[in-house]
Amino acid sequence: MSEFDYDLFVIGAGSGGVRASRVASSHGAKVAVAEEYRIGGTCVIRGCVPKKLLVYASMFAEELNHAEQMGWTIDEAKFDWKRLRDHVNGDVDRLNGLYTNTLENHNVERILERATVTGPNSVKLASGREVTAKYILVAVGAWPYMPDVPGVEHCISSNEVFHLDEQPKRLIVVGAGYIAMEFAGIFNALGSHVTVVNRTQTILRGYDEGVTDRLLSIATARGIDFRMDSSLVSVEKQDDGSLLVDIGGPQKLEADQVLIATGRVPKTEGLGLENAGIQLGPKGEVPVDEKNATTCESIYAVGDVTDRIQLTPVAIREGQAFADRVFGKIDRAVDYDNVPAAVFSQPPLGCVGLTESQAREKFGSVKVYSSDFRPMKNIFSHTPERGLYRMITDADSGKILGIHMIGPESPEILQLAAVAIKGGLTKEDFDATVAVHPSMSEELVLLK
């Protein structure tokens, strides 16, 4: 008989926690996972999946603008926010059920309660029951950051945006990272008047400046109002329910909703890790080594809670590697170089590898190739929006260091480009590849 109740106890049933749970169980471990909300985590329940469904829905507005030029007459087209909202949330319910079934089919015990760490091998549940485990995996993810300003209680985060009773006619988005730019694009396309409040002059900090400058230009042309070098000072709810928003300028703005999208912080408050001798990082993150081990030898952490790379596929790989290594005796590691990323703005961005400035800092001499083109589908548009692809290479070897693109379907095209970079290909290898014509992806092998 084991001296512990479980071989593995996982706190958090998001992407990383679910993967680690089922893989550990498949290796013969007795596993339980505690989740205080719903199975599936941020990505499935209140993040990338429902958000992208909103993106797809909002893109119909642009397609309808193209329709007349394509010979279509669409009379009395109208949009129903509640119908879209309910359909999206219905799909979230479906996915929650699928993730639940995955755990059940792999004999993972589900405990729908909050769990806190009480020691190196013990966890206390909200019901008061205490259980023990040989290993504990922390996979609680991250949570939207909400600033400490007067009236912030009248604002919403990305958690609540999927459940709005009404589509806001006037929406203020605070922040200009990927979450902010995605929701700004969604509601702008759906007909809301969107104002983006950003504390600097730069949107999507850390992404290639060439493609972010292009996005800023296109978003502005589409009617998004950018208030740069501004910060949220206060929010006041007026008698008619609208919001009066102070962003530090001479005039206050009026809005129906204020969406705070200024980043996410690890959800470790009250988790009790100090009871196992684990000291959190400056942002509340759980410090881990290359094997996702903490300073307590029985406790590991994966995913956004480590604040390493906050991406679902990274959390999944970390969960898989942890379970294989600890329970399957498979020495598996996660490679964090050249992790591709997408921003589902309108139009979307796809990026992998180093930006031009990062490459110059690291390698010194680099060569940049680019294609500035009008996508064929935009020929039917009333606006002359152009796509931009940029390839960063080492000037001496020609090895590709980064690819950055903005334009329709960029994330779909990026995946294979990321494989090429991961494989160490050069610009010459791309040049030697026959183009797929007519397509946007052919621009990657025609860069000058």
CA 42 to chain centre: 9
Do the annotations mark residue 179 as ligand-binding?
yes
Phi/psi region, residue 424 (left: phi>0; alpha: psi -120 to 50; beta: rest), is left
**Is residue 87 annotated as a catalytic residue, yes or no?**
no
CB–CB of 229/195 below 8 Å? no
| Residue of 106, 193, 404, 437 marked catalytic | 437
Do the annotations mark residue 180 as ligand-binding?
yes
- Tokens 């890790």 locate to 273
Do the annotations mark residue 270 as ligand-binding?
no
Task: Determine if the peptide bond prior to 168 is cis (ω within 30°).
Answer: no
Do the annotations mark residue 139 as ligand-binding?
no
Do the annotations mark residue 178 as ligand-binding?
yes
Do the annotations mark residue 236 as ligand-binding?
no
Do the annotations mark residue 263 as ligand-binding?
yes
- Cα(210)–Cα(386) distance, integer angstroms: 13
Do the annotations mark residue 177 as ligand-binding?
yes
Do the annotations mark residue 303 as ligand-binding?
no
- Cα(54)–Cα(67) distance, integer angstroms: 20
| 15-26 vs 81-105: helix crossing angle, rounded to 10 | 20
CA distances from 246 to 89, 187, 201, 228, 405 (A): 33, 21, 19, 14, 35
Phi/psi region, residue 57 (left: phi>0; alpha: psi -120 to 50; beta: rest), is alpha
> Which residue numbers belong to the known binding site?
52, 175-182, 263, 304
> Which residues are catalytic, by number?
437
> Which residue numbers belong to the known binding site for NAD(+)?
175-182, 263
> Which residue numbers belong to the known binding site for FAD?
52, 304
